[in-house]
Amino acid sequence: MAKQTFTVGQVLTAAQLTSLQQTAMLGGAASAKTASYTLVAADAGTAISMTSTSATTITVNTGLFAAGDTVKITNLGSGVTTITAGTATVNTSASLALAQYESGTLDFTSTSAAIFIKGAGAAGASGKVLQVVMGTTSTSTTIASTSFTDTTLTASITPSAASSKVLVFYAQQYKSFRGQSTQGVGLQLVRGATAIQIIGPAKYAAFTWDGVSSGGAEFRTVTTSTFLDSPATTSSTTYKVQGGVLYTSNSGEMVCNNDSPSTIILMEIGA
């Protein structure tokens, strides 16, 4: 319920006392919102909970609140809720974005300005795993190129805060063949279209072999790797593994995911 205004000698009703109690409790029962929302004057002294699975905003405008008014905001949904200055000014020493289960309070210092005080949940999320995404593939993919090529091992994650890091684990299964002489195979991890990790100092350093003079040779293995990335975004971000061979002559190639599935795991870590 909204903050009440009283006059001298007024006798308070039960509803007004309930409202006064809720205001003293920083909002009491929360008003649930399933989509982006613009604050109204009646929200003074109340609590708002966001429940959307998509990104939402709460817009703050001028002329609706007085100095000392507060609005508590909690995000229960998996989509990030961002406090947005409309015609009002909103300042904070933390972040205006609320990940799932984070909360904060708008503390108005005037009719046109507020301070957003983020709750302890923001600090509590530091270093914690906020979400985990796994991708797997059993699609057999042949790569006969000296240029890095997709192995079909991929997964996407939408960070809840731009300050979050993404810890990437992957296990890429493959075999490689060449009819004779030396061969080398390499892997790289890509975010979007940007290579962020190459296994070894050269692309063929995942493994090499030498001295096959005739008859050819085949090598089967699983390469595992870990990488801590800082994507600096709250947009959907795709990670994938690519492979390439040193030589394509004499039937040189690598075949991925042919013996067993390959797996990639993405973990969002709170900053």
Tens digits of residue pLDDT in 182-232: 777 889 999 999 999 987 545 555 566 555 555 567 788 899 999 999 999
pLDDT at 27: 47
Query: What does the alpha-carbon distance between residue 242 and residue 110 come to, in Å, rounded to a whole number?
Result: 55
> Are residues 27 and 107 in contact, defined by beta-carbon separation less than 8 angstroms?
no
Top pLDDT among 11 and 208 is at: 11
Q: What is the chain's length? A: 271
- For residue 35, the model assigns a pLDDT of 93
Strand partners, 137: 262
Question: Which band of pLDDT confidence, cut at 50, 70 and 90, is reported for residue 255?
Answer: very high
* 1 band by pLDDT with thresholds 50, 70 and 90: very low
What digits encode the pLDDT tens for the residues 26-74? 445 578 999 999 999 988 888 999 999 888 999 999 999 999 889 999 9
- What is each CA distance from 210 to 43, 174, 180, 181, 219, in whole angstroms? 73, 19, 9, 6, 12
Tokens, residue 2: 């909204």
Q: State how far the Cα of 57 lies from the Cα of 73, in Å rounded to an integer.
A: 11
Q: What does the alpha-carbon distance between residue 176 and residue 245 come to, in Å, rounded to a whole number?
A: 8
**Domain architecture of the chain: domains with CATH:** 14-124 (2.60.120), 129-269 (2.60.120.760)
Does residue 260 contact residue 173 with C-beta atoms inside 8 Å? Answer: yes
The whole-angstrom separation of Cα 150 and Cα 263 is 14
Q: How far apart (Å, rounded) are the C-alpha atoms in residues 39 and 251?
A: 66
User: How far is the first Cα of the chain from the last one, in angstroms, to the nearest whole number?
Assistant: 35
Question: Alpha-carbon distance 120 to 126, whole Å?
Answer: 10
